[in-house]
Amino acid sequence: MKLICNKDLLVQYINIVNKAVSNRTTLPILECILLTANEKGFILTGNDLELGIKTAAIEAEILEMGEIAIEARIFNEIVRRLNGEEVTISTDDKNAVTIISGSSEFSIMGQGGEDFPDLPEVLQDQAYTLKQNDLRNMIRQTIFSIAQDGAKPVLTGELFEFNEEFIHIVSVDGYRISYRKNNLLSSYGKKDVIVPGKTLSELHKILSQAEEDLVSVFVTDKHILFDLGTAIMVSRLIDGKFIRYEQSFSEDFKTEVLVEKNALIQSLERASLVSRDNRKTPVRFQMKTKTMEITAKSDMGTAFEEISAEIEGEEISIAFNPRYFIEALRSIDDEKVKIHFTASLSPCTILPVEGDAFKYLILPLRM
C-alpha cells in the first residue's frame, strides 16, 4: 500500500474511528485501525466487535492499493504531531509501515489486514432519518439515567422506539425514567430496539452539531447502523424486552409547579452541599402558595432555600435524591419547566411548559 493524503483530514478521520477501537488488550488486532486503499478509495475502520466504525472514502492519492492494521494509539499520536501538510504512508511485504511528513520519518510494525474482523452486514435499504444534532441532543438528554450495574442488561441500553412519524428514546435505571421524543424526516414503520449505552456515548461524540447534517438509521434484528455521511457506525443491539415505561407516567396530579429551571438547579446544588455522601442526603421540597422551599439536613448542618414559583393545587411536601433532580433538569434546554406532583410517596414528572418533547419521572424518597 502507498498513498499520500492531507494530514489534518487524516487526523479528523482517525478521531472518528478511534471511538470504536478497543482499549482492552485481549485481542491485539482490536487495538488497531485498519487502513484500506482499494478501488473505492482510502478508508479507515475501527472495530471492537461490539461497535464498528468505517469512514467514507478519504481524499487521497493512492499510489498502490493494499491494507494494513496499525496500533491506533501510536498511529494517532504520530499523525497528529506531524508538521507536514501531507502524509505519505507506505507498507512493505513484512507489514512495516513508513510514515513520512515534514521533517519526520517513522517506521512502525503493522499487522496484516486479513486478520482484522469485518463489520457486520446491515442492509441499507429503507432508512429512519433525522438531524444529527437532534439525535445528539436526545442521547445527551437521556443517557445519564441508564442503569450502571448489569443486573438488568436491557437497562444498560436505551430504548429506541420508531414509528411512522416519531422516534422516542428512553432510559430507565430503577429510580427514574428519561424520555425524549423527536420528529423523523423519513421512516419505515414501527420498530423497537435497545441500543447499548457504550454505543450511544461514542455516537454522541461523533454526531455533527451542524444544522444541515442528517443521520440515516438502519435496523436489523441484531444490529443498528448509523450513517453519518463521513462514516458509518454499526453496533450490536441488546437482546430482551425493555420495561413498559408508559404505564409509569400518570396523567393525574394534585399539584402543578412552574419554575425557572436554573434557579431550581442552583438551589438544589447548594442544598446538597450539606451532604457528605456524594449528594445522597435527601432534599425536601415544600410547595407553598407562591414559593417552593427546599431544605436539607445532615450531621454537617442544614440548608434552606426559597424559590419563587407558580404553584397550583395542594401544598405537598416531598423528598428526593437531589442528584436525580439536578441531572434531569440539566439535560433540559428550556428556561422554565412544569413539575407534576401527586403525593409524598408517588413519583413526580418534569415536563415542558408546552408540548411533549420530553418527560422525566423521578421516584421520591421516604423522609
Binding site for a copy of itself (CB under 8 A): 74, 77-78, 81-83, 96, 103-109, 263, 266-267, 269-270, 273-274, 300-307
Q: What is the H or E stretch that residue 349 is in?
A: strand 348-352
Q: How far is the CB of 136 from a copy of itself (least distance, A)?
A: 29
Integer CA distances (angstroms), 293 to 204, 278, 303, 317, 353, in order: 36, 22, 10, 9, 21
Q: How far is the CB of 29 from a copy of itself (least distance, A)?
A: 16
Q: Which cell goes with 16? A: 472518528
Vertex 341: Cα angle to 336 and 345 (nearest 5): 140
Question: Quick one: which of 328, 329, 337 has its CA closest to 178?
Answer: 328
Question: Quick one: which of 54, 59, 49 has its CA closest to 227?
Answer: 54
By beta-carbon proximity to a copy of itself, the closer residue of 158 and 305 is 305
By beta-carbon proximity to a copy of itself, the closer residue of 98 and 163 is 98
Separation CA 327–CA 264 (nearest Å): 12
Q: How far is the CB of 271 from a copy of itself (least distance, A)?
A: 8
Residues near 206 by Cβ (< 8 Å), separated by ≥ 6? 16, 19, 53, 228, 231, 233
Q: How far is the CB of 280 from a copy of itself (least distance, A)?
A: 16
Q: How far is the CB of 246 from a copy of itself (least distance, A)?
A: 37
By beta-carbon proximity to a copy of itself, the closer residue of 38 and 308 is 308
Q: How far is the CB of 158 from a copy of itself (least distance, A)?
A: 32
By beta-carbon proximity to a copy of itself, the closer residue of 82 and 362 is 82
Separation CA 312–CA 340 (nearest Å): 10
By beta-carbon proximity to a copy of itself, the closer residue of 225 and 271 is 271
What are the two backbone dihedrals, phi and then psi, of residue 277, each rounded to the nearest 5 degrees? -95, 60
By beta-carbon proximity to a copy of itself, the closer residue of 136 and 279 is 279
Residue 100: count other Cβ atoms within 10 Å of its Cβ: 17
Integer CA distances (angstroms), 134 to 28, 34, 125, 139, in order: 36, 30, 22, 9
Q: How far is the CB of 2 from a copy of itself (least distance, A)?
A: 18
Q: How far is the CB of 269 from a copy of itself (least distance, A)?
A: 6
By beta-carbon proximity to a copy of itself, the closer residue of 8 and 118 is 8
Length of the chain: 367
By beta-carbon proximity to a copy of itself, the closer residue of 36 and 101 is 101
From first CA to last CA, the distance across the chain in angstroms is: 68
